[in-house]
């Protein structure tokens, strides 16, 4: 059977130029057999099947920018979930609470993560791990041998115990989840959108002016952009001009930011009048733009989570900070210090600066101190660390969380952990600096 047969799938026709890059993935029936049928294949039949499956996903990526795994929502579901995110109460105890004089933010709600549908590249990001690089999840689609090895483990051996429980069900859904796990890699992570919405809404309420100007130094996958759009129409901001300026050097996704803005204003909140100004440039170069010169010293809020040096390798652009500054000391003094300098000059005398970052451990003897270096550079520029917000990560499953173990973790400095509700949890700090 010709492979072209598999590629004659129907594509949803739409005139909307702001629609998501991909939505649901439904391979043809020939490529979505049951596990029972998989087991009945001879070795040669299975090998041919896996190669046809790989070529299908390769075509989907090359011609339709649809990743082998990722979000799986229709346009209607995306609209519904974004509307729910827009109406999300950020003061709900599942998002925000205080304990022992600490502010905690959790917000596991993933309605806003539907914005990932505009960024299939998240699945194709290599990750730095220690001194090595872990290939992306999508990488297996480009490598026939690696693809066969992984699909053999998933489908023939059922290494994750997914298929044997319901062997007569089609494999597609379970396979797309399994290929992500078996890869040993992870997609680039979206920010926690409820957290971002909390930060914008609470800080914007402090601005007693007719205009609120914000800068996001690292726009990334548009999570903060979506949160800003939602926060801009909070009742306290009605009648105010809300301006979001974002910088990011990733040229491959630059056009998506305006697509997301248009989609939001068309389908989610037609009353949203926020002005969105994306700039395809690194945050350390922001001072070279006309937008910086226009708003210099007038900004009210700066908020981002910057690259963690070379942890996530977002694109091949030479302006990506890990490429431009390939050693940590160069990155620290070039990207980190340069960005802090621009934040200082962009913000008004009375302003708020949120910075979400964490140290990265390279080896047992080497950890890059992104947290302390960030605080140092901010304080050198006149900012005062007003609050450390504890953004909780997933519970430490299977890990000994006794007091003794907790003390050892703190002493080693290998992980940010905090006691909350009589349990230890990993967290990332969101530093809230003030000036004036």
What's the pLDDT band for 129 if we cut at 50, 70, 90? low
Tokens at 37, concatenated = 């049928």
pLDDT at 302: 98
CA angle, 227 then 320 then 189, to 5°? 40
Average pLDDT of span 65-70: 92
pLDDT at 130: 61
Structural domains of the chain ordered from first start:
3-73+116-182 (no CATH), 193-435 (3.40.50.150)
Question: Which residues does 112 contact at the CB level (< 8 Å), separation at least 6?
Answer: 81, 82, 85, 193, 194, 197, 223, 226, 227
Average pLDDT of span 391-407: 65
pLDDT at 298: 98
pLDDT at 7: 45
Per DSSP, the residues of 105-145 read: E-----GGGGGGGG-GGGGG-EEEETTEEEPPSGGGGG-HH
Q: What is the DSSP letter of 34?
A: B
In this prediction the pTM is 0.90
Q: Are 96 and 105 in contact (CB under 8 A)?
A: yes
pLDDT at 153: 95
Q: Are 154 and 147 in contact (CB under 8 A)?
A: no
Q: Report the distance separating Cα 390 and Cα 107, nearest Å.
A: 12
What's the pLDDT band for 15 if we cut at 50, 70, 90? very low
Q: Are 372 and 407 in contact (CB under 8 A)?
A: no
> Is pLDDT at 128 greater than 70 in this prediction?
no
Q: Report the distance separating Cα 25 and Cα 68, nearest Å.
A: 9
Q: Report the distance separating Cα 221 and Cα 191, nearest Å.
A: 8
Average pLDDT of the chain is 90
What's the pLDDT band for 1 if we cut at 50, 70, 90? very low
Tokens at 385, concatenated = 């660390």
Q: Are 35 and 158 in contact (CB under 8 A)?
A: yes
Q: pLDDT tens across 222-270, in order?
A: 999 999 999 999 999 999 999 999 999 999 999 999 999 999 999 999 9
What's the pLDDT band for 396 if we cut at 50, 70, 90? very low
> Is pLDDT at 12 greater than 50 in this prediction?
no
Could you count the other beta carbons within 10 Å of the beta carbon of residue 349?
8
pLDDT at 436: 74
pLDDT at 162: 93
Q: pLDDT tens across 296-321, in order?
A: 999 999 999 998 886 666 556 567 77
Q: Comparing 131-140, 306-315, 417-426, which segment has the lowest mean pLDDT?
A: 306-315
25 versus 50: the higher-pLDDT residue is 50
């Amino acid at each position: 059977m010709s492979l072209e047969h598999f590629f004659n799938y129907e594509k949803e026709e739409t005139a909307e130029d702001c629609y998501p890059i991909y939505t649901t993935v439904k391979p043809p029936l020939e490529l979505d057999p049951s596990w029972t049928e998989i087991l009945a294949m001879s070795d040669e039949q299975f090998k041919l099947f896996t190669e046809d499956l790989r070529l299908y996903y390769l075509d989907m990526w090359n011609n339709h920018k649809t990743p082998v795994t990722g979000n799986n929502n229709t346009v209607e579901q995306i609209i519904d979930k974004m509307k729910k995110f827009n109406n999300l109460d950020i003061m709900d105890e599942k998002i925000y609470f205080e304990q022992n004089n600490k502010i905690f933010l959790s917000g596991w709600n993933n309605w806003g993560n539907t914005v990932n549908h505009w960024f299939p590249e998240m699945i194709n990001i290599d990750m730095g791990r220690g001194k090595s690089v872990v290939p992306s999840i999508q990488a297996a689609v480009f490598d026939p041998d690696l693809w066969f090895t992984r699909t053999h483990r998933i489908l023939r051996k059922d290494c994750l115990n997914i298929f044997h429980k319901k062997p007569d069900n089609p494999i597609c859904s379970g396979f797309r989840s399994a290929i992500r796990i078996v890869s040993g890699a992870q997609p680039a992570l979206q920010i926690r959108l409820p957290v971002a919405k909390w930060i914008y809404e609470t800080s914007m309420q402090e601005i007693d002016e007719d205009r609120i100007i914000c800068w996001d130094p690292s726009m990334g996958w548009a999570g903060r952009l979506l949160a800003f759009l939602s926060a801009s129409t909070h009742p306290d901001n009605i009648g105010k001009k809300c301006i979001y300026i974002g910088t990011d050097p990733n040229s491959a996704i630059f056009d998506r930011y305006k697509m997301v803005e248009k989609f939001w204003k068309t389908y989610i909140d037609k009353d949203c009048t926020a002005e969105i100004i994306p700039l395809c440039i690194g945050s350390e170069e922001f001072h070279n733009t006309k937008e910086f010169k226009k708003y210099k010293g007038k900004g009210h809020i700066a908020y981002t989570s910057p690259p963690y040096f070379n942890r996530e390798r977002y694109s091949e652009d030479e302006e990506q900070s890990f490429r431009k500054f390939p050693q940590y000391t160069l990155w620290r003094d070039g990207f980190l210090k340069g960005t802090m300098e621009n934040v200082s000059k962009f913000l008004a005398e009375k302003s708020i600066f949120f910075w979400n970052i964490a140290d990265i451990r390279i080896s047992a003897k080497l950890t890059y101190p992104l947290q302390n270096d960030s605080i140092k550079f901010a304080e050198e520029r006149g900012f005062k660390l007003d609050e450390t917000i504890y953004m909780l990560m997933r519970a430490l499953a299977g890990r000994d969380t006794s007091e003794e173990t907790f003390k050892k973790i703190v002493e080693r400095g290998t992980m940010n952990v905090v006691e909350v509700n009589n349990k230890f949890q990993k967290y990332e700090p969101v530093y809230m600096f003030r000036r004036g």
